[in-house]
Amino acid sequence: MDDAPKPTPYPRTTPTGDQPPRPRWRPLRTAGRALLALVSVAALVTTGYAWATYHEVQGNVHTTDALDQPADKPAPPADDGGEDILLVGTDARTDMQGNALPLQVLKTLRTEQTSGVNTDTIIIVRLPKNGARPYAVSIPRDTWIDVPRGGQGKINSVYGLAKQAKADELRRQGRRDAAGIERDSDQAGRQALVQAVQDFTQVRVDHYAEVNLLGFYLITESVGGVRVCLNHATEDKDSGADFRAGVQTVSGGAALSFVRQRKNLPRGDLDRIVRQQAFLSSALHQVLSAGVLANPGTLGDLTDALHRSLVLDPGFDLLQFAEKAKGLASGDVTFTTIPVVTINGRSPDGQQSIVEADPVAVRQFFAGLAGRGAGAGGGGAPGGGVAQAVPAGVSCVN
């Protein structure tokens, strides 16, 4: 990872009075951050600002060796019908240099300092090599899988457990620099997550992109908020959600509340994923709008947010990505979710609520998305039930 120290300014604004009230302290469950960041880059690269913006972002991006895998755990075949990008959103409470976020920033993000890291967004973007439309496939955070360390667990715990094990090892070796331990242990967490995803899906991860919760906040703020639509008014104290029915604009802390609510939703975590997918689809439309790309101030804020929040594998060339991902840059992407058996399962010890999925069905599903069939998943944002005009790019959801 790029270890060069860089100054890290923090959000200059705090939640305003028209945002939902601050929730009780709970871990954030954010969504789609990396895809929003990548398409922001693709949009910038394909506009008149392309060359300068491309070099500015590519030259300052942080990198990770997440794709380096153990020799005894070879990756699936590279020629699997598509180019696959693993997009990860973490709830890390550190900046890009591994330094803990100040208390005021944590309050702005509506969270508190906690140990460990969860990967609360895991999306595989599949770009079929035959030119078919791209897919963005969500893997629910509570999906029960075989984990690299042995045994089974939730997929969102893989990164954090491997990170903690590496941090403990480094401390036993005498390391005392907290920020350095954070950075180096992050690499172990990322590598373990890539291995887990590849084992579970039999999809070769060709590229890796990650954004933390601070980055999500900054990106939504930089584009002036994201329009969303709800079929019904809803409230959830745990997430801080307090929204009316209909179309509204959310950003910063309110956007975090919108994408993490799962209580009081008919299908719990799966409806939260649909909420996240609808948010992301609208956000991409917002980023690609003329108003965003033609505003120098907005462009500057967006570029700064990308500098401060995006982590890529070293081989991820943003210019090539923009060329290959024209479907993403035009909004022509299908959001879906892996097929699941049940969303109300229990772990073998009965202590955890889990999402059960059949690995064979999941692997067949991804093979179908390589252009040999559409597959079937639980995603997609349903049409709205609100009696009002809904702006382009916005879907009404529960």
116 φψ region: left (φ > 0), alpha (ψ -120 to 50), beta (else) = left
Residue that the structure tokens 């500098």 belong to: 307
Residues with Cβ within 8 Å of 282's Cβ and at least 6 positions away in sequence, in order, are 226, 227, 228, 393, 394, 395
**Using CA atoms, how far apart are residues 303 and 133, in angstroms rounded to an integer?**
27
Domains of the chain, residue spans: 33-397
Burial track 346-384 (b if 16+ CB lie within 10 A, e otherwise)? eeeeeeeebbbbeeeebbebbbbbbbeeebebbbebeeb
* pLDDT per residue rounded down to tens, the chain (398 residues): 444 434 344 443 333 334 433 333 333 333 345 666 666 665 555 554 444 555 666 677 788 999 998 888 878 888 888 889 998 887 666 666 667 777 777 776 666 656 566 777 888 988 888 877 788 898 988 999 999 888 999 999 999 999 999 999 999 999 999 888 988 999 999 999 999 999 999 999 999 988 877 777 777 788 788 899 999 999 888 777 889 999 999 988 788 788 878 788 888 777 888 887 788 778 777 766 655 656 667 777 777 777 777 888 998 887 677 666 555 555 567 888 999 999 888 999 989 889 999 999 999 999 888 654 444 344 433 333 344 466 767 889 88
CATH architecture assigned to 33-397: 3-Layer(aba) Sandwich (3.40)
Whole-structure pTM value: 0.77
